[in-house]
Amino acid sequence: MDSAASSYRRFLAGDEDGLAEIIRDNKDGLILYLNGFVNDISVAEALAEDTFVKLAVKKPRDKGGASFRTWLYAIGRNLAVDWLRRRGRERERSVPLEEQMRSVEALEADYIREERGREVRRAMSALSPDYRQVLWLVYFEQFSCREAARVMRRSTHSVETLAYRARRALKEQLEKEGFSYDDIS
């Protein structure tokens, strides 16, 4: 059993520290993952907060079909998809890309300290949303292809194929920018 699932069980039993541990351990990764959907770091932060509020208020039961983190990211993904649907209907003005990148870079400075990490992220931004999502889940969050498939609502084989193509596309993008893909670990 993973520690997040244990923390959630403690929270459900009345220990408020359990929820605090879940938030502390998963907040940054969830925000960056959700930002891949909404392309607005402040909205991603709000959606991550809504995800944790949903855990705290509604106290949904984890059916145990996947790891707790996979389940948590799926909840966040569903909230992001709902937000995108509402936004599409409302036709809100989008935040300029330059403003989004400044916000993302500020958060990334805390999350990814090395220059190579920033270069990989920059190259990833040129990739399709599906490629960015699968690369983020599988390589940055270290989800298995099976877990990523659950979050993305795809088959495991589809995610494996998508991950392979995304790696190739990232390699090509990095080489276009003058970086050797083999030097990136």
- More confident position, 146 or 107: 146
Long-range contacts of 12-17 (CB under 8 A, 24+ apart): 12/59
pLDDT per residue as tens digits for the range 39-67: 889 999 999 999 989 888 877 776 666 78
Q: What is the pLDDT of residue 185?
A: 44
pLDDT per residue as tens digits for the range 126-138: 889 999 999 889 8
Q: Residue ranges per domain, the chain? A: 1-111, 117-185
Using alpha carbons, select from 84, 28, 29, 74 the residue that is nearest to residue 54. Answer: 74
Using alpha carbons, select from 82, 76, 66 the residue that is nearest to residue 4. Answer: 66
| pLDDT band at residue 176 under the 50/70/90 scheme | confident
Range 1-111 classified under CATH 2.60.120.560: no
Q: What is the pLDDT of residue 119?
A: 76
| pLDDT band at residue 112 under the 50/70/90 scheme | very low
Q: Nearest 10 degrees: CA dihedral of 21, 116, 149, 30?
A: 30
Q: Any idea which fold 117-185 has?
A: Arc Repressor Mutant, subunit A (1.10.10)
Q: What is the pLDDT of residue 92?
A: 45
The reply to whether domains 1-111 and 117-185 share a CATH topology is no
- More confident position, 4 or 107: 4
Q: What is the pLDDT of residue 168?
A: 92
- Least reliable range by pLDDT among 39-48, 100-109, 115-124, 172-181: 100-109
